[in-house]
Structure 1
Amino acid sequence: MNVSFTERQEKYIREQIASGHFQNASEVVRDALRLHETLREKMLDDLRKEINKAWDAPPSSRSAEQILADNKAKYGIK
């Protein structure tokens, strides 16, 4: 597998290795992927819970776009 990084990402990886928290770039990337998976699962779980609550709730004044934007902001997704 071949992966390309931006200069900023490469700098971050080098800094993480230099900090002593990781021994090599692969460890940094694997950690980032684990965190991404955890965050994504939490986000999807929270969205499922909100959807389930909505089925039994009175109509909302918020649009679907507003709700999605709020959840993206909550999780730092652009």
Structure 2
Amino acid sequence: MKKIALILALVALAGCTDEEAARKALTGSGFKDVKTTGYSYFGCDKNDTFHTGFEARGPSGQFVEGVVCSGWLKGATIRFE
């Protein structure tokens, strides 16, 4: 029973990303070669609905990793690791 609960929890978390909003926020801020990496457990506030991890090249060309935090009826925030 515990295994089933764990699997359901992981599936639910996998759905808590918004790749389209993350890509839009990152490309709009000058990031290139954007790759989303799925749900990011850390880095966002408890009130954020979506926690989308990413890897990209910043505007200066430097490789960066982080998370785009977003939610219903609010914008997106880019946070770096």
TM bin (shorter chain): 0.3 to 0.5
Give the TM-score, by structure 2 length.
Answer: 0.35
Higher share of residues assigned strand: 2
Structure label with greater radius of gyration: 1
Is the helix fraction higher in 1 or 2? 1
TM-score computed with the length of structure 1 as normaliser? 0.36
Q: Which has the higher contact order (CA 8 A, sep 6+)?
A: 2
